[in-house]
Chains A and B, each alone.
Chain A
Amino acid sequence: MNLLQAAGPLSVSSGEGQSYSGVNEKADLMRQDELAAAEQKNASPSDLGAHDDARALVRLIQCSRCSLPFRMPVTLPCGNTICRACVPQSHEREHISYPDLPGRRQAFRCPFQQCAEEHPVSDCNVDVVLTKLMDSIAEVVAKHASAIERTPAALEAAERWDEGVSLPEKMATQEALAGRLVTTYLLAAEGKLARDAQMDYLPTPEVSGNESAMDVTILSELLETTQREVDCQVCYNLMLDPVTTFCGHTLCRNCLARVLDHSQHCPVCRRGLSIAPSLHSQASNKTLVNLLNGLCPEAVSARAEAVALEEAGGEGGLNTSLFVCTLGFPNQPTFLRIFEPRYRLMLRRCVEGSKEFGMLMYNRYLEPQGDLGPVHFYHYGIMLRIIHSQLLADGTSLIETRGAYRFRVKAHGVMDGYAVGNVERLDDVPLVEEERLEAEETSLPPAAEDDLAGQLTRMSTKDLLALGQDFIVRMQARSANWLQQRVLDIHGLPPDDAAMFPYWFASVLPISDEEKYKLMGTTTVRQRLKITASWIRRIESQRWYQSNSCQIL
């Protein structure tokens, strides 16, 4: 009665109990690397059954070098894990003078073929979370394995059955007693199960029900005991995309990135972290990712969804990141340096997400903003699209943005220290309405001579634009500072489009932002041109300006 057969890479038993020598093309021929690559590709969480996938589950915690369940696992900078004892012999690195910290001189060649990089010894420390996990697993297994030893009668019976004293048959009896998981783990722990070896469990109608139930019990017990180990120490949630630091501590990728916004030290051991603030080149802890995906895929996807929702601003519709800084205009560039930790986080989320964020002007005197009342920003803002973002070595960023559209903040809140809001896009009225307005205003009876606003109101849209363009030409002739070549290089030449001209004009004209802000809430082209025309009239009426083109207003 052969319940189980442990098969090496080249021998496999078929489901019908008919043994033959051959090749299981699905897994056995796969080299380690390919196996690892396949595991990696399997990015979407997949549920591994406690009973049916016992072999795959145990493989997750087998070292690819020694095949034993990880002993003092070390997660390498490339995200692969091996036992500490399996770390290859290190050699002295040459021609390296920076940063020349202790332990960085010694390095070893990564044993994983898809990496094969040199890893400095000091970057490879015992993985604390995996070590704790392995200890917990060993404890649970030991508890259940001892149940076998406590039933000598069963063992004796097994001995009698196995006249041939073949290992698999002995194991078969154990399986019936302790389930596939424990049996497979013990085989691996005894060094009798190569990591890439398959195991075929033959159907055992009499006991399979019990076995299966036992595996499920053991696995849920494992999950329960290890639950706290796989919680991130920063967010207290299940680790999402865990990244292990060179000092061996593991956090969610997002949490580690946030920590790095504030300090270059490991939050757990305070060791200096020589990790680029972006974490882009930092590999995930592959073993942990595979374990979590295999054991609790629902929890992993639920967590990923929750994070996505959170970053989208939660359920309140506060889904736009708001940067309270300065004024910006549609179609005009804005260059920003992002250095505050909270805005670094905001920027990272924007860069990874919509590539857009709203910028609002600071409301210094807390002037009331419509329904929002006296808030610390002006409620009309500009949506900035990130054109280029450069992360500097110190973690700050230089970004180039271009104004996409104007909006009004309808509701606002705070997320992780920065403002978020529900915004409403602000567009101009339809062209028909624009035309109607022009016709109406230009056919008004003439305005009084001293009624400057009235005169502007009666001008055609085309003339209003021409007034602005003429002013620019005259100012250029006088070599006005604010029309120097470098300004035009950034903002371009004055646009011919009447809708866009005021935005360009406001971007280059050195007058106060509070004055320029008047353009933000406009909904007609005429309204904007009248505002710019009024600036021009005021500038021209100031006599001191005539003699000095440097300072205005």
Chain B
Amino acid sequence: MAAPLPKRIIKETERLQSEPVPGISAEPHEENARYFDVKVDGPSGSCYEGGEFQLELFLPDDYPMCPPRIRFLTKIYHPNIDRLGRICLDVLKNNWSPALQIRTILLSIQALLGAPNPEDPLNEAVAKQWKENQPEAIKTAREWTTLYAQKK
């Protein structure tokens, strides 16, 4: 027997739909309102521009005391995102605060696409390439975006 959905999650979901963020969408699953299908557009001016990235987002039982669990489903070439789509982002870990929300987290992820940080890598190989040959890395990221992140 599942506990009723906290008011906070209901309100956040409503606001995500009534006041959507441009370039970001998050739709809850019908059978599990804690599980969201997320789409984030690659930020313009970045090597992910034109791509639409799919993510899954899950709100654990103790949300908002603990951060949402979130992962890229779309393959992406990025020093802070590993092959399984896991994201290295401080606000998803130690720097989480219950005053943050789904909206701000997704904005942070979009910002991470616009500003890859190879100094704090999750994907060593990509980070290495990013540091040693940035133009090549950016080229690969663009190719992957075209290959895997096309709007459906």
A residues adjacent to B (C-beta < 8 A): 233-237, 255, 258-259, 261-263, 265, 267-268, 270, 314, 316, 318, 341-342, 411-417, 420
Contact of B65 among A268, A318, A341, A420 (CB under 8 A): A341
Give the CA-CA distance A308 to B74 in the complex, in Å.
44
Closest 9 CB pairs of A and B: A417-B62, A267-B99, A413-B1, A267-B97, A236-B8, A236-B11, A233-B99, A234-B98, A267-B98
> Which single residue of chain A is at the shortest CB-CB distance from B94?
A263
| Contact assessment for B1 and A259 in the assembled complex, using a CB-CB cutoff below 8 Å | no
- In the complex, which residues of chain A have a beta carbon less than 8 angstroms from the beta carbon of B6? 235
Given A342-B62, A417-B62, verify A270-B97 contact (CB < 8 Å). yes
Closest chain B residue, CB of each to CB of A261:
B65
Given contacts A235-B7, A236-B7, A236-B12, is CB(A416)–CB(B61) below 8 Å? yes
**Number of contact residues on B: which range applies?**
10 to 19
CB distance from B35 to the nearest CB of A (A): 16
User: 8 A-B Cβ contacts within 8 A?
Assistant: A234-B8, A236-B11, A237-B8, A255-B98, A261-B65, A270-B95, A412-B1, A417-B61
What's the nearest-Cβ distance from chain B to residue A509, in Å? 36
Contact A314 B3 (CB under 8 A): yes
CB-defined contacts of B114 to chain A, threshold 8 Å: none
Question: Are A259 and B7 within 8 A (Cβ)?
Answer: no
Q: Does B64 contact A (CB under 8 A)?
A: yes
Nearest CB on A from B39, distance (A): 24
Contacting residues, chain B, for A267 (C-beta < 8 A): 97-99
Complex Cα spacing A255 to B99, Å: 11
B98 touches A259 (CB 8 A): yes
In the complex, are the beta carbons of B1 and A265 less than 8 A apart?
A: no
B4 CB within 8 Å of chain A: yes
Interface membership of B66, Cβ < 8 A: yes
B2 touching A413, Cβ below 8 Å: yes
A268, B61: Cβ atoms under 8 Å? no
In the assembled complex, the CB of B100 is this many whole angstroms from the nearest CB of chain A, namely: 8
Distance from A369 Cβ to chain B, minimum over Cβ atoms (Å)? 15
Q: Which of B1, B7, B97, B98 contacts A318 (CB 8 A)?
A: B1
Residue of B nearest to A415 (CB): B3
CA–CA, A416 to B97, complex, Å?
16
**What residues make up the interface of B, taking CB atoms closer than 8 Å to A?**
1-4, 6-8, 11-12, 61-62, 64-66, 95, 97-99
Residues of B within 8 A of A255 (CB): 98
Q: Which residues of A contact B12 (CB under 8 A)?
A: 236
**Which residue of chain B has its CB nearest to the CB of A420?**
B3
What is the CB-to-nearest-CB distance from B108 to chain A, in angstroms, rounded to a whole number?
15
Query: Which A residue's beta carbon lies closest to that of B61?
Result: A417
Q: Please state if B62 and A416 are interface contacts (CB–CB under 8 Å).
A: yes
Q: Which of B11, B64, B66 neighbours the largest number of chain A CB atoms within 10 Å of its CB? A: B64
Which of B4, B61, B64 is within 8 Å of A234, CB to CB? B64
**CB distance B3 to A414 under 8 Å?**
yes
Enumerate chain A residues within 8 angstroms of B4, measured Cβ to Cβ. 314
Q: Tell me if A262 and B2 are in contact (CB < 8 A).
A: no
Residues of A within 8 A of B98 (CB): 233-234, 255, 258-259, 262, 267
Q: Taking A237-B8, A342-B62, A413-B2 as given, write out 18 further A-B residue pairs in contact, using a Cβ cutoff of 8 Å, ordered by the A residue number.
A: A234-B98, A234-B99, A236-B8, A236-B11, A236-B12, A255-B98, A259-B65, A259-B98, A262-B65, A263-B97, A267-B97, A268-B97, A270-B95, A270-B97, A314-B4, A416-B61, A416-B62, A416-B65
Nearest CB in chain A to that of B99: its residue: A267
| A314 / chain B contacts, CB cutoff of 8 Å | 3-4
Q: Which of A265, A270, A316, A341 contacts B62 (CB 8 A)?
A: A341
- The chain B residue with its CB closest to the CB of A263 is B97
Neighbouring A residues of B95 by C-beta, 8 Å: 270
Q: How far is the CA of A413 from the CA of B3 in the complex (A)?
A: 6
B3 CB contacts on chain A under 8 angstroms:
314, 318, 413-416, 420
Q: Are the CB atoms of A411 and B1 closer together than 8 Å?
A: yes
A235-B1 in contact (CB<8A) = no
Contacts A233-B99, A265-B97; A414 near B2 (Cβ below 8 A): yes
Closest A residue to B4 using CB positions: A314
**Cα distance A417–B8 in the bound complex, in angstroms:** 15
A residues less than 8 Å from B61 (CB atoms): 414, 416-417
Give the residue name and chain of the B residue nearest to A421 (CB): B1
Bound: A517/B2 CA distance, A: 28
**Please, how many angstroms separate the alpha-carbon atoms of A235 and B8 in the complex?**
5
User: Chain B: which residue is nearest A234 at the CB level?
Assistant: B98
Minimum C-beta distance from A442 to chain B (A):
45
A397–B8 CA distance with the chains assembled, in angstroms: 28
A317 nearest in chain B by CB position: B1
Q: Shortest CB–CB separation between residue B92 and chain A, in angstroms? A: 15
Complex CA–CA separation, A314 to B97 (angstroms): 26
Chain B residues within 8 Å of A261, by CB: 65
Cα(A534)–Cα(B114), bound, Å: 71
Q: Which residues does chain B contribute within 8 Å of A414, judged by CB atoms?
A: 2-3, 61
Nearest CB on B from A5, distance (A): 47
Q: Bound state CA distance, A412 and B11, in angstroms? A: 26
Min Cβ gap A346→B in Å is 12
CB of A360, distance to nearest CB on chain B (Å): 16
- A413-B1, A413-B3, A415-B3 known; A258 vs B65 contact (CB < 8 Å): yes
- B64 cross-chain contacts in A, Cβ below 8 A: 234
Residues of chain B with a CB closer than 8 A to A318's CB? 1, 3
A417, B34: Cα distance in complex, Å: 14
| Residue of B with least CB distance to A315 | B4
Minimal beta-carbon separation of B137 from chain A (angstroms): 33
Q: Which B-chain residue is minimally distant from A411 (CB atoms)?
A: B1
Complex: how many Å from CA A314 to CA B6? 11
Interchain CA distance A263-B95 in the complex, whole Å: 10
Task: Report the bound CA distance from A239 to B101 in whole Å.
Answer: 18
A298 to B69, CA, bound (A): 37
A237 with B7: CB separation less than 8 A: yes
Query: Which B residues touch A417, using CB under 8 A?
Result: 61-62, 65
B6 to chain A: closest residue by CB: A235
**Closest Cβ–Cβ distance, residue A19 to chain B (whole Å):** 53
Query: What are the residues of chain B within 8 A of A234 when measuring CB–CB?
Result: 8, 64, 98-99
Chain A residues, Cβ within 8 Å of B99: 233-234, 267-268
Q: Which residues of A contact B11 (CB under 8 A)?
A: 236
Most buried by A among B1, B8, B64, B98: B98
Residues from chain A with a CB closer than 8 A to the CB of B1 are 316, 318, 411-413
Query: Which A residues lie within 8 Å of B7 (CB)?
Result: 235-237
A283 to B17, CA, bound (A): 37
